[in-house]
Amino acid sequence: MRAYSFSRVLAIGVVLVLGACATAPNRINDVCAVFDQRDGWFNDWRSVAERTQRKYGIPMHVLMATVRKESGFKSNARPPRTKLLGFIPWTRVSSAYGYSQALDGTWSQYRRESGNFTASRTSFADAVDFVGWYHTKTVDTYGVARDDTYNLYLAYYLGWGGYKRGDWRGNSGIQRYARDTAAMADRYRGQLQSCR
């Protein structure tokens, strides 16, 4: 009888853990709330973000604001589909996928260069490590400061080639995205002071 009860408890626990992983956290504009919702044994986002900060030197608030802007913390986020004849769902505008919205080619480059060949874009730990890796390459290549969320996000959104060409100049939409991400990073930085 005890084995049966333990099996039921274990099965319910697994379902709850998997259910928590499948849904995006709510209150995503409050990084403390995000961390509170993802602080389990197998899913501790704060410790993962802290480890990534130590590894790359990119501040945690910059990492989290980038993921927030890209996917809203949804593991399976994708760009919308285009419409054929105005109403038939067709192809997607890019191969961006997961928490980081990494493109297929850039994700392959990350896996190759980092040695993390099993990395998944639907894993928060892998995605935030990707963001740290990407921002660090931007810092090393273009001399952007590690806490300059505005320029780091421009390079992230446009890709390194687009950033080098200055494709954001004259594009108020992209500049607004970068300003919004920088403002979110500032809010997250302030919130992190009170939720330690």
* Structural contact between residues 102 and 121, judged by C-beta atoms closer than 8 angstroms: yes
| C-alpha closest to that of 49 among 113, 143, 130 | 130
Spatial separation of the C-alpha atoms in residues 58 and 72, rounded to whole Å: 20
* Structural contact between residues 111 and 127, judged by C-beta atoms closer than 8 angstroms: no
- The per-residue pLDDT for range 55-84, each reduced to its tens digit, is 999 999 999 999 999 999 999 987 665 566
Spatial separation of the C-alpha atoms in residues 149 and 180, rounded to whole Å: 10
* Lowest-pLDDT range of 4-13, 21-30, 44-53: 4-13
* Structural contact between residues 73 and 25, judged by C-beta atoms closer than 8 angstroms: yes
Terminal Cα-to-Cα distance of the chain (whole angstroms): 43
Confidence class for position 12, pLDDT limits 50, 70, 90 = very low
Structure tokens at 63: 């990492």
Spatial separation of the C-alpha atoms in residues 12 and 8, rounded to whole Å: 6
- The per-residue pLDDT for range 108-149, each reduced to its tens digit, is 999 999 999 999 999 999 999 999 999 999 999 999 999 999
Whole-angstrom CA distances from 117 to 35, 96, 149 are 27, 18, 28
More confident residue, 171 or 85: 171
